[in-house]
Structure 1
Amino acid sequence: MPKGYVVLTEAIKDSAGMAAYSQAAAPSMAHSGATPLVVDGQPRVLEGEWHGNRTVILEFESVEAAQAWYDSDSYATARPLRQAAAESNAVLLSGFEMPRD
């Protein structure tokens, strides 16, 4: 089963609000088994345009686990804090598994 990844791009407009979001979101991430792979404020754009001034990539055991975290009651209390503090994009991606011969 492929892993699931949540990618957030954030154009932060309220640093204190994002700090409050981080405090509120951390327990839901820990409870869901999320592994933060990337938290970067300086993406190096190689082609096209990139949204925001911070990118976050979270890894989950599966796409279903990632969706369950995003839909969870514990994250539902944190999400509005992020949405108020930043213009955000969020996507859910399925990891790639090499075909076995």
Structure 2
Amino acid sequence: MASQCLFYPLRSVIRCVAKAHLTVAPEAYEADLVWDEALFAELTTTFLQPSVQPLLASSYESRDEAAVVEGQLAKSLVNTYCRIMRQRQDARVQQLNALL
């Protein structure tokens, strides 16, 4: 009976890829987004839970398959971060926050 080696997406890889894309990729400078470490930390803590991202708890037959999932989740994390940062910069959101 041959043992089957299973691979899982790695949260640390997803965080690293997303952070690199948000801080050092040319797109980060073009988007003119300010880096917020606290937001990124909170977002990754929430976003990278298996209950939120069931793909993290799924096993894959090859490292390449797991890497594809890591890339997809990193891209989704980047998009979520960018959306939140754009909403923060919106004048209406700032006015509503000032009322709180």
TM bucket, shorter chain:
0.3 to 0.5
**Structure of greater Rg:** 2
| Higher RCO (C-alpha 8 Å, min separation 6) | 1
Higher strand share: 1
Compute the TM-score of the two structures, normalised by the length of structure 1: 0.33
How high is the TM-score relative to the length of structure 2?
0.33
